[in-house]
A and B are shown apart, each in its own frame.
Chain A
Amino acid sequence: MKILVCISKTPDTTAKIAFTDNNTKFDTGGVQWIINPYDEWYALVRAIELKEADPSTVIHLVTVGAADAEPIIRKALALGGDEAIRVNADNHDSYYIASQIAEVAKQGGYDLIFTGKETIDYNGSSIGGMVSELLDLPYVSLAAKFDLAGTKATITREIEGGEEMNEVELPLVVSCQKGMAEQRIPNMKGIMGARTKPLKVVDPVAVDTLTSVAGFGLPPAKAGVKLVSPDNVEELVRLLHEEAKAI
């Protein structure tokens, strides 16, 4: 069993969001970088659990990014995984990134490809779907549970107002969300071991981008909260009904 886990570098959840270069670039000044939480907590940890259940499993990590993505991929290796591949490219659009991952996947011959359900910066939710189409593989998105019996995957995915149970034969692409696994903290053995795990750097393949960022902006600030006395709950309800027209 060979699993490929897609890892993305994102700003920390508490990072200040600001832009430079006439609002065309994210201001990375003072930003702490983390592994995209969906990639780490759900995709990677579930892959590690599958390897714990079947030690013959091999886990590869892939990231598309410049050299400054290496601390993140080392941190991911500290959690688990056997080796990592970094496609040496600056981030472009989802199609470009998915094409690079698909190329790595073709070379590696994986049975299973995990992505997080989205990154917390671009919120595209697109990489898993694009990779699956590029490889012509089945895709289950927003998986909350994943189990394997031989080459058959049993998956629970979210649907509106409930869950759907799926069975799919490998190979397959899955995007992972809450429920798949629980967050782990790397231990000292993992951190030490990660330093010597192979991290291959490969050149990107030539791919067009389909979209580009024209500019960023910040949403208008809230006008400020209108406080109502706890002894006058009727007034709040009246405001919601008559002023906000929300009920």
Chain B
Amino acid sequence: MPVLIFIDTAEGHVKKSSLEVLTYGAKVAEQLGTTAEGVVLGSVTEDLAALGKYGVKKIHHVAADALNHFDAQVFAKVLAQVAEASGAKVIVFSNNLSGKAIAPRLSVRLKAGLVSGAVALPDTSNGFVVKKNVFSGKAFANITVNTDIKIIALSPNAYQTLAGEGAAEVVSFNASIDAAKVKVTGVSKASGEVPLTEAEIVVSAGRGMKGPEHWGIVEDLAKVLHAATACSRPVADAHWRPHNEHVGQTGFAIAPNLYIAIGISGAIQHLAGVNRSKVIVVINKDPEAPFFKAADYGIVGDAFEVVPKMTEAIKKIKGTA
């Protein structure tokens, strides 16, 4: 009765969030005295056996081209077949965009209790209890899963990827696949940029930037850090920056290793979207900005002077100056 891990891919590549769930799922398996197995849907361009270094012993690959486009209904049915065939009692997803669509469907299909947004390994000392964030990161809850099969959707960036040695056995799985009802008619991607929800470092700016024409220094800083750019709600609402950069209560919730907030006062709604960041740096000319209370490091100063200096100092450290 293995732990089954859904390995999410995009355009044939394994997503970074999948490496986190592989590491996490292998640890859960170790804890339960069983093995970890993965499942990949659709064609891939990567060597799946190499994923064994994250602790997974076997990978079920449903290589049908019909699964190259995402349809949660179709994916959930295929995953249910793999789960049943493998006899898995714990199924692990990333609580990323795909996981949020499929895991609830699989939960219903298998009548398996779901903990979405898990942030720690299950506590199995008394039942099966998983910690998750609630109240938009302002609190956590310990959720007991009462069903025979359990599904965990792990928050992105909540668990450190750990690579060791080993190769996984890749077996092809023949599933019955329904025709997709969701037709994908196009994809638009900002090429070369780091996706916000997967980024380890995020550079974010707010109204303190005074206008969209001043974003160059924010982008320069993001570039030297290989960071994604983000913004506060007023900035997105004023159309200074696109809506898909808005982080906060009603935008995206993110949990990068480093969040640099420039000219953002730190309203409670903004904090709700970023409070799970591991290290928070705040640059604001107002020493009373509430964001300083939530920050690890701060500079009270003019962003237009501080940010370019920061970019130069980082270039020196990285040896790219």
Contact = CB atoms under 8 A, between A and B. Distances in A.
Interface class of chain B by DSSP: mixed
B255 to A, nearest CB: 12
Contacts of A230: 299-302, 305-306
Interface residues of A, number: 81
Interface string B220-240: 000001000000000010000
Nearest to B199: A161
Contact of B146 (A166, A212, A216, A227): A212
Contacts of A219: 137-140, 275
Interface in A123-174: 123-130, 132-134, 136-142, 144, 154, 157-169
Contacts of B116: 94, 123-126
A128 B104 contact: yes
Contact of A226 (B102, B297, B317): B297
A164 B185 CA distance: 8
A43 to B, nearest CB: 13
A125 B297 contact: no
Contact of A210 (B100, B127, B145, B194): B145
Contacts of A133: 73, 76, 104-109
Interface residues of B, number: 100
B186 interface: yes
A120 B136 contact: yes
Interface of A: 11, 13-14, 17, 19, 37-38, 41, 93-95, 98, 120-130, 132-134, 136-142, 144, 154, 157-169, 178-179, 208-219, 222-223, 225-230, 233-234, 236-241, 244, 246-247
Given A160-B10, A211-B143, 9 more contacts: A13-B268, A129-B101, A130-B105, A133-B76, A138-B72, A162-B190, A165-B184, A179-B243, A228-B299
